[in-house]
Structure 1
């Protein structure tokens, strides 16, 4: 007898994304995969996001709503995942979209290949002016030390989120929390699989956090945090710490060691 399909929990932090939230939720509910639950975490929005989330909850029984004071996206994701009943998690921002086949194909991989920890797909970035393909490098642990090639909206097992230590809420003002989370989950073991189709659509907005955290100051804060938290990983992959000019890190570290400066 075939075992039942695992419940997938889609966790959607929402901070002032009310105008897009219903479109995001509907894209999830249009998925061909079941069973699903959708957890919307309103992260202290100052717009009408909470009212819209309540309207959506009244319309669709699969929706669970968490209302919290503003704590940042990592805090909202962690709280949503804590409340999730599903064994498989898909984090999704409150203004993004997914294709109808994405969840089902990702679950199939996770079910068939226990050695795979993370499944994602091809992505597209879009805004009102159009869209462009998101060119992602293939997964490689050495490359993960230098940069992130897995967007946040990938599927993984809840038990692996817990084992990795969850999302680091200390990175609230640094950005790229998903990069550090993938390092925690994958730095020592686990495979990653990228599905060969476009299943994720990342909305570009003028107020997106990614733009706000793209400054040199935030980059330095981020690098210092990564080096402090994952020294063993960087010593192994880059022969020393991650540098501001990231692509030169291993070369520079090797030179410093050669002359006795590291």
Structure 2
């Protein structure tokens, strides 16, 4: 018997893209799914779009809430799911018709913890999102290597407490995947199914990229939260490498001073 997959679609003022997203869900070759759409306090015509899809197919369900961010929306959506597996999908993205079927096949046969498809940017950028084929927690220390639309067990989601709702300035997927893998397991990229990841001129992700202060704050939060998951040397070297790459350390003496301070902090 096919296992139910719960697709979770948080939506905040993305009505103009929501049809394309939900159309990709209803076209899935894997039919045993439900789709929970979370209206995160939208002020556009999101509710109208959602109601249209609910009337079209009873597998679509929705919940509305005051705006609280993507982590809160995904957590609320997950709380009312009935599936064995969960699949987050952003309202402005869409997936290939075989996306769920290929992920299900691979996670069931190989007992991976997370499976995800290849991803392609479209909109303001048009290129493939370069992702790793095999990911363990140690591979996630420097930066995120998995997009948001990975498939995983519902039980694993609640075991780690879902998404960290303190992650309000981006990087929530990075922190979530670290949390999911820190006690073991692998995340595997499946080559023959695809996520299409929309890049907009004024999207949340592009705004985050421009704000180095918030970027640094979120990276430091992730590092401190998960410090015990890594060996000391790996944490120190990766952290300093990130700092140099982001131009926070402009002179050699600043680099070595920072290294000394962090050494004292971790010791």
State the TM-score, normalized to the length of structure 2.
0.87
| Mapping for residues 184-195 of structure 1, pairs under 5 Å | 184-195=179-190
State the TM-score, normalized to the length of structure 1.
0.89
Partner of 2:114: 118
**Do the aligned partners of residues 259 and 63 (structure 1) sit closer, same or farther apart at CA in structure 2, a change above 3 Å counting?**
closer
Partner of 1:169: 165
Are the counterparts in 2 of residues 42 and 68 from structure 1 also a CA contact under 8 Å?
Answer: yes
Partner of 1:231: 227
Partner of 2:13: 16
CA distance in 2, matches of 1:199, 1:223: 28
1:106 and 2:103 correspond: yes
CA distance in 2, matches of 1:5, 1:83: 20
Are the counterparts in 2 of residues 32 and 100 from structure 1 also a CA contact under 8 Å?
Answer: yes
For residues 204-229 of structure 1, the C-alpha deviation after alignment (integer angstroms, 9 at most, x for no partner) is 11231111222111112112211221
4+ long deviations beyond 6 Å: 251-261
Aligned to 1:136, which of 124, 131, 139? 131
Aligned length, in residue pairs: 255
Are the counterparts in 2 of residues 223 and 244 from structure 1 also a CA contact under 8 Å?
Answer: no
Unpaired segments of 5 or more residues in structure 1? none
Unpaired segments of 5 or more residues in structure 2? 246-255
* 1:252 CA drift (Å): 9.6
For residues 51-100 of structure 1, the C-alpha deviation after alignment (integer angstroms, 9 at most, x for no partner) is 21112212222110111110100000011011111010110000101001
Aligned to 1:211, which of 177, 199, 206? 206
**Do the aligned partners of residues 16 and 237 (structure 1) sit closer, same or farther apart at CA in structure 2, a change above 3 Å counting?**
farther
**Do the aligned partners of residues 93 and 261 (structure 1) sit closer, same or farther apart at CA in structure 2, a change above 3 Å counting?**
closer
SS in 1 for 2:113: strand
CA distance in 2, matches of 1:162, 1:261: 30
* 1:187 CA drift (Å): 1.7
Are the counterparts in 2 of residues 119 and 195 from structure 1 also a CA contact under 8 Å?
Answer: yes
CA distance in 2, matches of 1:11, 1:46: 20
1:86 and 2:83 correspond: yes
- The 10-residue stretch of structure 1 (27-36 or 224-233) with the greater mean CA deviation from structure 2: 224-233
